[in-house]
Amino acid sequence: MALFEWKNDYSVGIAKIDEQHMEIVVFLNELYDSMKAGKGKDTLNAVLKSLMEYTRTHFTTEESLMKLYAYPDYEAHKQKHEKMTQHVLELKKQYDFGQISSPIQIANFLKDWLTKHIQGTDKSYGPFLNAKGVR
């Protein structure tokens, strides 16, 4: 069983964004599978690196659409992305310096953030962009 199961409820109604969210879920579940196999620490560094790179791509996609269509909460949403990016960088740094010894701490943070970010913040721009013809 995966740590994070994708549900249609998570869809923001924009195919490209949903696909990117699903890819982030794949990273999270890869980390979880590695932990179950006793290889979480071995995999954590690679997963964190991939996650950092992919979230930059994902955030750029979201922000580009918001800016293009003049989404009214663009700045606030962008600030949340910047905060998340900094948090993931800090987690990686803490892990590199041995301050985080358990990958489960990072996996749980990522799961909680992903759920809250999609269900809260991202769901709010979906209808706005859909009304502009973005699917």
Where are the chain's structural domains?
40-131
Say how far apart CA 107 and CA 44 lie, in whole Å: 9
Q: Can you spell out the DSSP letters for 38-75? A: T-HHHHHHHHHHHHHHHHHHHHHHHHHHHHHTT-TTHH
pLDDT at 34: 83
Q: 3-class DSSP state for residue 5?
A: coil
Whether the Cβ atoms of residue 84 and residue 63 lie closer than 8 Å to each other: no
Whether the Cβ atoms of residue 84 and residue 117 lie closer than 8 Å to each other: yes
Say how far apart CA 125 and CA 19 lie, in whole Å: 16
Both tokens of 47, joined, read: 């997963």
* CA nearest neighbour of 129 among 85, 80, 69, 78: 69
Residue 2 DSSP class: -
pLDDT digits (tens, 9 = 90+) for 19-57: 999 998 988 898 888 888 888 777 777 877 887 888 889
| Among 23-27, 99-103, 118-122, the least confident range | 99-103
Q: 3-class DSSP state for residue 132?
A: coil
Topology classification of domain 40-131: Four Helix Bundle (Hemerythrin (Met), subunit A) (1.20.120)
pLDDT at 79: 96
pLDDT at 101: 67
